[in-house]
């Protein structure tokens, strides 16, 4: 005998603004099973004079509970069971938590429900070759001046002086700082290091500009549900961080001279840009067949496992693969010789 169907009359709509609406029913017998389970849990925790805890007759239990609340709890459990089965059967890839509405809920009747979920948007990348070429054309060669070197030297000598060390720039002094032959060798390597730092910073800024231009040039809708979830998560992270610092939200927003509403509005705008960039880079990577190196992914996973032993391995792998693919895609866009 086949098991009872968890849901019936299911209709899965087509994506609108990267959001899918699903309607259906949970059969009355399935809802009744969950109603009895909820009642059983209530029964075990209910204390009624004249009866031992956990042994209150159902007829008495029914007099001490709100049946609407019991049905709502039963509906929640029924849908928590049905939801993953729906996702699996229809091969959906939710990008957000489901938003569920109970359309009809009555004892002895099927539960009618509606749910909405965010899905990955359909992205047609902008002319990324043209955008990348334009960003690259504005790049200027990195230069390191003697003033740059002198500034770093001044900071170094000041720091060492505060530590009580001899601060005169001599061959003997620079040898105490590392494997340097003399002052000239030290200055040459210092100049190389400064140049590397400047190049890294220039590359970071180019990547940032490229990502912004790609996001501005792409026309596609993000699901409001996905944005809402990400903003909610960011809000939670902020308040957890403030708790660690033992700082109130009022103090924090006073320091940054913004209201919480202004801060969250800016955060929402930033999150929207980040999400757009994420899906654009993913679309470009798919079109250009760009994938992260599996060995590098494994190395990062091992590194992450040592530092975050309680992290979900699958979620961490997905995050690392996404970050590496994004970096590789941006590098591809920057280095390609497009006109």
Q: Are 31 and 111 in contact (CB under 8 A)?
A: yes
Q: Round to whole Å and give the CA distance between 310 and 293.
A: 25
Query: Which of 136, 156, 140 is CA-nearest to residue 148?
Result: 156
pLDDT at 45 over 80: no
pLDDT of residue 225: 97
Q: Report yes or no on 94 lying in a domain.
A: yes
Q: Report yes or no on 47 lying in a domain.
A: yes
Q: Report yes or no on 174 lying in a domain.
A: no
Report residue 1's pLDDT band, with 50, 70 and 90 as the boundaries: very low
Q: Are 149 and 169 in contact (CB under 8 A)?
A: no
In this prediction the pTM is 0.80
C-alpha distances in Å from residue 291, one per residue of 53, 321, 326: 60, 8, 9
Residues paired with residue 117 on neighbouring β-strands, in sequence order: 20
Q: How much is the average pLDDT of 191-209?
A: 92
Q: Report yes or no on 63 lying in a domain.
A: yes
Q: Report yes or no on 197 lying in a domain.
A: no
Question: Domain of 31: which CATH number?
Answer: 3.30.70.1050
The encoded tokens of residue 246 equal: 């033992």
Residue count of the chain? 339
Domain count of the chain?
1
Helix axes 128-137, 183-217, angle to 10 degrees: 140
Report residue 165's pLDDT band, with 50, 70 and 90 as the boundaries: low
Q: Domain of residue 105: give its range.
A: 8-118
The encoded tokens of residue 215 equal: 């996001």
In Å, the largest CA–CA distance within the chain is: 94
Q: Report yes or no on 255 lying in a domain.
A: no
Which tens digit of pLDDT belongs to each residue from 284-339? 999 999 998 889 888 888 887 888 888 788 888 888 899 999 999 988 998 877 66
Q: Report yes or no on 27 lying in a domain.
A: yes
Element (H, E) at 146: helix 146-162
Q: Report yes or no on 3 lying in a domain.
A: no
Q: Are 77 and 33 in contact (CB under 8 A)?
A: no
User: Rounded to the nearest 10 degrees, how much is the dihedral formed by the CA atoms of 220, 221, 227, 229?
Assistant: -120
Which tens digit of pLDDT belongs to each residue from 65-103? 788 888 999 999 999 999 999 999 999 999 999 999 999
Element (H, E) at 101: strand 99-104
Query: 3-state class of 307 per DSSP?
Result: helix
């Amino acid at each position: 005998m086949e098991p009872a169907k968890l849901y019936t009359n299911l209709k899965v709509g087509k994506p609108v603004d990267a959001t899918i609406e699903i309607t259906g029913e949970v059969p009355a017998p399935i809802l009744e099973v969950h109603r009895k389970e909820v009642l059983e849990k209530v029964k075990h925790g209910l204390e009624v004079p004249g009866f031992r805890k956990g042994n209150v007759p159902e007829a008495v239990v029914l007099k001490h509970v709100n049946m609407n609340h019991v049905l709502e709890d039963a509906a929640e459990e029924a849908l928590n069971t049905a939801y993953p089965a729906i996702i699996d059967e229809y091969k959906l890839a939710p990008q957000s938590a489901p938003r569920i509405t109970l359309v009809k809920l009555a004892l002895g009747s099927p539960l009618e429900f509606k749910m909405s979920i965010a899905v990955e948007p359909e992205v047609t990348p902008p002319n990324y070759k043209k955008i990348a070429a334009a960003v690259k054309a504005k790049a200027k060669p990195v230069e390191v001046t003697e003033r740059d070197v002198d500034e770093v030297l001044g900071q170094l000598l000041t720091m060492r002086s505060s530590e009580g060390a001899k601060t005169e720039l001599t061959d003997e002094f620079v040898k105490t700082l590392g494997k340097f032959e003399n002052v000239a060798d030290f200055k040459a390597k210092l100049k190389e290091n400064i140049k590397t730092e400047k190049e890294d910073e220039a590359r970071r800024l180019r990547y940032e500009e490229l990502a912004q231009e790609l996001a501005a040039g792409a026309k596609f809708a993000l699901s409001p549900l996905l944005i809402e979830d990400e903003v909610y998560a960011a809000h939670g992270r902020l308040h957890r961080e403030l708790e660690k610092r033992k700082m109130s939200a009022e103090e924090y927003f006073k320091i940054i001279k913004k209201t919480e509403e202004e801060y969250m509005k800016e955060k929402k705008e930033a999150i929207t840009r980040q999400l757009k960039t994420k899906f654009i880079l993913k679309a470009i990577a798919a079109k250009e067949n760009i994938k992260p190196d599996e060995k590098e992914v494994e190395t990062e996973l091992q590194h992450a496992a040592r530092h975050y032993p309680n992290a979900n391995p699958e979620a961490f792998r997905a995050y690392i693969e996404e970050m590496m693919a994004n970096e590789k895609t941006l590098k591809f866009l920057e280095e390609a010789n497009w006109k």
